């Protein structure tokens, strides 16, 4: 099996592709609005703790499981369970993850589709000079019909599918190697522009000053969910890349680079967006509409808004593509193991995400008032889209994370794990190992329990 497994061509390629999986809509679309809704700097502190103490150790564990299991997630986990002498059905954890990848991909494509549509609107000057009512109306019109979002989500999924049909090096790897640097250049340009506006100081204060906030369990769960989502941990996407990474890449420095890039992009996205929001006197806690309504309103007013707006939505689209391929890669590899060609597998699974994507599209129009789980108090008022997004990030990702941590920390041999990571014996390894065995499971268990009471 491992002989047939493809691999990336270099350490650089692995890091760029995995950072590309991490950096996505979660950084540029979700992070700013989640921070904005949860009060700014204080939330960022909690988010940093969740990112570094919980999600990063699990990212390393998930990559390691891929490398040691050397196959698609269900097969890799089954291989390792056999090796660890476990009789539990570990492949099940892999399968739940694969379902998670397609669910995420389905709503991801709809939001990415709107970024493409908005990039076109910005480029064609549609926003320039438009009133905020007109822009709210554009957003509503886009969502009110099924055709508009469908056209764009189809296009986005088609691009993603085509990349994944190719072999690893000419498809996934090349996309990451070109789009990630391009993304950094665009983002740097946007932050440079934002730093010249009058809102920059206020944005710095908002993002980096600690204010007292209410530490509800819901807020902590949101922070952990966002941390897992942004690092792409918990459904086997990065496990797949761990399997492709090659045996000579040292895990510690690679993970450090990936997490750093992910964090820097999230913070820079905040620094690109919030100065404009404050300079124009808009509301930082606007929620999910921050990127698709608030920003275009600003692009409509400022000089050069068409160029800045186009650059921004191009950035968002690039970030989304490199993440979406990581969501399609694991199921395609699994079907490939079952004898399917990559092309057939990619079209079938891309098609599955396409169909499921209608649930998200409908959540914005004909199912807008359908709240299927309203009989559960806390879930009342949530649309199918919100249930899918929050269910996967706040429940499936952390629970799968605990399962990975359990496999790595308690089932596999310590020495095999250390060698698999290519890490020297020492303080860093010990801290990581301790957090995988104790901190990660306890933190997540505490969160789930506290949200129940």
Could you say whether residue 243 binds ligand TRP (CB under 6 A)? Answer: no
Tokens of 130: 């438009």
CB of 326 to ligand TRP, least distance (A): 4
Are 332 and 102 spatial neighbours (Cβ–Cβ below 8 Å)? no
Please say which residue, 115 or 197, places its beta carbon nearer to ligand TRP.
115
152 CB-near residues (< 8 Å, 6+ apart) = 110, 113, 114, 116, 117
Helices (H), 216-284: 217-231, 237-244, 251-279
| DSSP 3-state of 63 | helix
Tokens of 40: 């700014």
Could you say whether residue 235 binds ligand TRP (CB under 6 A)? Answer: yes
Could you say whether residue 329 binds ligand TRP (CB under 6 A)? Answer: no
Q: Which of 35, 58, 78, 104 binds ligand TRP (CB under 6 A)?
A: 104
Please say which residue, 29 or 433, places its beta carbon nearer to ligand TRP.
29
C-alpha closest to that of 180 among 8, 11, 20: 20
Could you say whether residue 194 binds ligand TRP (CB under 6 A)? Answer: no
- The pattern of x and - marking residues 385 through 424 that bind ligand TRP according to CB under 6 A reads ----------------------------------------
| DSSP 3-state of 424 | coil
Are 17 and 170 spatial neighbours (Cβ–Cβ below 8 Å)? no
Sign of CA dihedral 221, 227, 232, 238: negative
Could you say whether residue 76 binds ligand TRP (CB under 6 A)? Answer: no
Nearest 5°: CA angle at 121, between 193 and 207? 35
Please say which residue, 175 or 197, places its beta carbon nearer to ligand TRP.
175
Total binding residues toward ligand TRP, as defined by CB under 6 A: 16
Could you say whether residue 58 binds ligand TRP (CB under 6 A)? Answer: no
Q: Which of 113, 234, 275, 305 binds ligand TRP (CB under 6 A)?
A: 234
327 CB-near residues (< 8 Å, 6+ apart) = 101, 102, 104, 105, 108, 235, 237, 353
Return d(Cα 197, Cα 191) in angstroms, integer: 10
Q: Which of 18, 79, 165, 326 binds ligand TRP (CB under 6 A)?
A: 326
CB of 312 to ligand TRP, least distance (A): 16
Please say which residue, 230 or 363, places its beta carbon nearer to ligand TRP.
230
Residues in 203-232 at the binding interface with ligand TRP, rule: CB under 6 A: 229-230, 232
Residues in 6-45 at the binding interface with ligand TRP, rule: CB under 6 A: 21-22, 24-27
CB of 2 to ligand TRP, least distance (A): 23
Could you say whether residue 323 binds ligand TRP (CB under 6 A)? Answer: yes
Tokens of 326: 């990581």
Q: How many residues does the structure list for the chain?
A: 453
Q: Interface with ligand TRP by CB under 6 A: which residues?
A: 21-22, 24-27, 104, 229-230, 232, 234-235, 237, 323, 326-327
């Amino acid at each position: 099996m491992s002989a047939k497994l493809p691999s990336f061509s270099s350490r650089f390629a692995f890091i760029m592709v995995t950072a590309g999986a991490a950096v996505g809509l979660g950084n540029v679309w979700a992070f700013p609005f989640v921070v904005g809704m949860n009060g700014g700097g204080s939330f960022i502190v909690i988010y940093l703790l969740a990112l570094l103490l919980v999600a990063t150790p699990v990212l390393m564990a998930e990559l390691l499981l891929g490398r040691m299991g050397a196959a698609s997630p269900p097969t890799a986990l089954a291989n390792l369970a056999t090796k660890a002498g476990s009789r539990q059905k570990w492949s099940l954890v892999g399968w739940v993850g694969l379902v998670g990848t397609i669910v995420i991909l389905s709503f991801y494509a709809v939001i990415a589709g709107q970024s493409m549509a908005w990039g076109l609107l910005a480029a064609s000057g549609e926003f320039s000079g438009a009133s905020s009512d007109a822009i709210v109306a554009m957003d509503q019109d886009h969502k009110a019909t099924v055709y508009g979002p469908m056209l764009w989500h189809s296009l986005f999924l088609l691009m993603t599918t085509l990349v994944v049909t190719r072999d690893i090096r000419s498809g996934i790897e090349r996309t990451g190697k070109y789009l990630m640097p391009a993304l950094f250049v665009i983002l740097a340009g946007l932050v440079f522009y934002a730093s010249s506006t009058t809102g920059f100081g206020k944005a710095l204060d908002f993002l980096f000053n600690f204010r007292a906030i209410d530490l509800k369990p819901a807020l902590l769960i949101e922070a952990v969910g966002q941390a897992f989502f942004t690092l792409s941990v918990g459904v086997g996407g990065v496990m797949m890349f761990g399997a492709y990474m090659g045996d000579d890449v040292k895990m510690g420095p690679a993970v450090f680079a990936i997490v750093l890039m992910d964090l820097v992009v999230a913070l820079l996205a905040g620094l690109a967006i919030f100065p404009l929001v404050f300079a124009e006197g808009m509301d930082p806690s606007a929620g999910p509409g921050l990127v698709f309504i608030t920003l275009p309103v600003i692009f409509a007013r400022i000089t050069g808004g068409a160029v800045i707006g186009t650059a921004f939505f191009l950035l968002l689209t690039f970030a989304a593509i490199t993440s979406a391929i990581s969501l399609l890669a694991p199921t395609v590899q699994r079907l490939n193991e079952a004898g399917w060609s990559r092309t057939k597998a990619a079209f079938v699974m891309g098609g599955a995400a396409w169909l499921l994507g209608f649930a998200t599209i409908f959540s914005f129009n004909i199912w807008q008032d359908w709240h299927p789980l309203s009989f559960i108090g806390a879930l009342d008022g949530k649309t199918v889209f919100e249930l899918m997004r929050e269910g996967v990030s706040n429940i499936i990702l952390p629970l799968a994370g605990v399962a990975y941590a359990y496999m790595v920390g308690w089932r596999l041999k310590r020495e095999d794990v250390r060698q698999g990571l290519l890490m020297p014996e020492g303080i860093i390894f010990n801290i990581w190992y301790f957090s995988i065995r104790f901190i990660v499971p306890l933190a997540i268990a505490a969160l789930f329990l506290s949200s129940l009471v």
